[in-house]
Structure 1
């Protein structure tokens, strides 16, 4: 699986500018990748107080946009996440598209980050984070979700080989970003493909440092802080090999984990 992680700066509150940027970067990245990955809330950034006016109604505009790009280039696109407006609220929603332009999966962020006031403007989701890329099982989560290993483990025990993470992770907690991603890879014996944004908004500076991590916890590729496209490869057969060497999943004892 050849990967391209599009770590770009996001224009605060300007979806049209961000569509133009992403189209240019996808056109560039697709030549060297099978799967392209975008960051969290890439259409709007964290302009939360204006989401009622700038979020995408049912995600339809973004779905058409990403579908066209995926079909044109015949690539899989893990299209980060967007602010999707529905009758029940605005969700932070991950979109995944296949090479025929088909929508494969939607996942609404399950854990809202109070330090950035997400719970005031967004509605938490309760959908599964699991999907498939071809015949390969994967899961995809959004930013703060990686602090909940029990949530991620409930997905990874079903033979998922890749965990996609899309984020707007602040620079102030870069050490946490790296440590949590490495931990999720090691404990789940899977690839972690994590795309963060670059740049800043009026209230935050973001960390960049998108990463591709292997199932032994080895860093295959890591970006710096600046906007870039990070390329790397996941050899998915290695997941089964690592899981056979240290059979963590076979040795689980879930009957004793619910301690009261």
Structure 2
């Protein structure tokens, strides 16, 4: 099975949800020229990462706006949408929440970021999620984490043990740690023998430059797509049929011995 994925490397404007939703839709419209099966956006696309003083005011309320905009887009254009993540006010708490929509506009996954980036104080403003979520797009077994989560291989492996062929990582990762970003995502793809699509934001938030360098990586660790450091759209093709051969030649899931290394 072959699929085409568009990586939409959005430059969100800090604390400007109206502009950011409109820009995301404009870039998605542009990406349709490549006839993708899946569109993927970055983390906190509605607010940027992240306006502390007005976060509750600016956050989407129960994800309503996000579901309306991206669900309608997916349904209208018959395309799957991994709508990055948004600051999301729910049950009196703010979550960093990812929404995923299938071609009919159905919401097939809601994932709350588990690990807040403590050096920036994210954990003080966003409530932590408590569950890894698996889902399906076009019959493909998928899962995802958000940004800082990728530094914790335990949650990625938790998802992949349920069966994952395609993994998504929306992020707002600083340019200063670009090497970490590329290396960690590549390692997760190789060690779990899956395709991995990691879409990072760009632009400035305060003094922090977010680094782009969104990547689509094969199960062998090859870069199918590697974008630059500014706002950009990239598109790449994946072939899910190759995964079975990779896993049979080096069967890490069969050869695991988890009773020897419990955490």
Instruction: State whether residues 185 and 213 of structure 1, in contact with CA within 8 Å, keep that contact through their aligned partners in structure 2.
Output: yes
For residues 39-70 of structure 1, give each alpha carbon's deviation from its aligned partner in whole angstroms, at most 9, with x where no partner exists: 00000001133111100110101110111111
Inter-partner Cα distance in structure 2 for 1:87 and 1:61 = 16
2:125 is matched with: 121
1:16 is matched with: 18
Moved over 4 A (4+): none
Instruction: State whether residues 59 and 85 of structure 1, in contact with CA within 8 Å, keep that contact through their aligned partners in structure 2.
Output: yes
2:45 corresponds to 1:34: no
For residues 160-208 of structure 1, give each alpha carbon's deviation from its aligned partner in whole angstroms, at most 9, with x where no partner exists: 1011000000011111001101100110011110000111111310110
2:202 corresponds to 1:205: no
- Other structure's SS at 2:203 match: coil
Say which of 228, 231, 255 aligns to 1:251.
255
- Other structure's SS at 2:44 match: coil
CA RMSD of aligned residues (A): 1.0
For residues 88-145 of structure 1, give each alpha carbon's deviation from its aligned partner in whole angstroms, at most 9, with x where no partner exists: 4100000000111111110000111101110111000012221111211011110000
Inter-partner Cα distance in structure 2 for 1:203 and 1:108 = 26
Say which of 63, 70, 77 aligns to 2:74.
70
Structure 2: which 5+ residue stretches go unaligned? none
Number of corresponding residues: 259
- Other structure's SS at 1:200 match: strand
Instruction: State whether residues 49 and 121 of structure 1, in contact with CA within 8 Å, keep that contact through their aligned partners in structure 2.
Output: no
Structure 1: which 5+ residue stretches go unaligned? none
Instruction: State whether residues 7 and 197 of structure 1, in contact with CA within 8 Å, keep that contact through their aligned partners in structure 2.
Output: yes
2:95 is matched with: 91
